[in-house]
Structure 1
Amino acid sequence: MGRTTLDTAALAHELRLAVMRFSRRLRNQRVDTSVTLTHLAALSTLKRHGPMSPGELAGHERVQPPSMTRVVVALEAAGLVTRTPHPTDGRQVIIGLTSAAEEMLAAEAQAREAWLAGRLQELTAEERAVLREAAGIMDKLASG
């Protein structure tokens, strides 16, 4: 193995671990811990992509439809999602967010961003500039 390959493999390892630790810390900046991370992910998908059937939601979340059915039932019981009849398929329903879910998602995002902004203030201007550049590079890696 050449030096470049070893350097790339080492960077991949370090970056994977750093991103996992960072993601875990960011996820832990929660406002409402009564909602599980699985439920929060489903709500975030509905926020990002709009109302959809439970099957479509399961596809986005990469879980089996019966698992998503349990998530939807719990979210509906918590007053976070609504079910409306599907416009063309009487056997289906469409899941959408309630205003309570919208407010909770906004509060969750604000809490995470406030925590991150505080941590960024602890860095030097040069370190923040490096992270600004790294954010674009990480977006490029994620979209490829």
Structure 2
Amino acid sequence: MPTPTPATDAHLTRLAGELVTAAGRLVREVRRSSPQVAPTLRVLAMLDDHGPLTVGRVAELDGTSQPTATAAVRGLVGQGWVQRTPHPDDARSTLLDLTPAGRTALADQRRRNAALVRDRLLAAGRHSPDDLARAVDLLRALTEGTA
């Protein structure tokens, strides 16, 4: 991308802010459709994205306290969605990982979330699958640092 002029930089900055706001609103709308699932989904998604993690790392990634993360993980272990295994490098610690049931629960919730967004797109009738593909590519590039 060429170096922006002050006018194009201001426009780009405004659009970038609008993108963050719109993405946040979409995530909140999806979460409101299943409010009890949101914290659970975040932990399951973190384990899916990062692989086995300690409770401390889950808390760090989620921006919560370790006691809050511990309580969330305890519930997920109780549901059979997360398992604890001994940490190979620290005998005092355990690693958390998804169980097959946890992977299924995560996939099911992601399908429900996708259906909600799909239904909104179809109801609006203004956007094509290509529009959605470009939006996904842009958001993926921004979150992966490859934009």
1:23 to partner: Cα distance: 1.8
**Segments of 4+ moved more than 3 angstroms:** none
Please, which of 19, 22, 32 is the counterpart of residue 18 of structure 1? 22
* Partner AA of 1:131 in structure 2: L
- The answer as to 2:57 corresponding to 1:56 is yes
Select the structure with the greater relative contact order (CA < 8 A; seq sep ≥ 6): 1
In 2, the alpha carbon distance for the partners of 1:109 and 1:99 equals: 15
* Partner AA of 1:84 in structure 2: T
Q: Gaps spanning 5+ residues in structure 1: where?
A: none
1:34 to partner: Cα distance: 4.2
1:2 to partner: Cα distance: 4.4
Identity among equivalent pairs (%): 31
Q: Gaps spanning 5+ residues in structure 2: where?
A: none
Describe the SS at the equivalent of 1:134.
helix
Q: Is the 8 A contact 1:45 1:57 kept in 2?
A: yes
1:86–1:143 distance in 2 versus 1, CA, 3 Å:
closer
In 2, the alpha carbon distance for the partners of 1:119 and 1:34 equals: 22
What is the aligned-residue RMSD (CA, Å)?
2.7
What residue in structure 2 maps to residue 47 of structure 1? 48
Give me the TM-score of the superposition, normalised by structure 1. Answer: 0.75
Give me the TM-score of the superposition, normalised by structure 2. Answer: 0.73
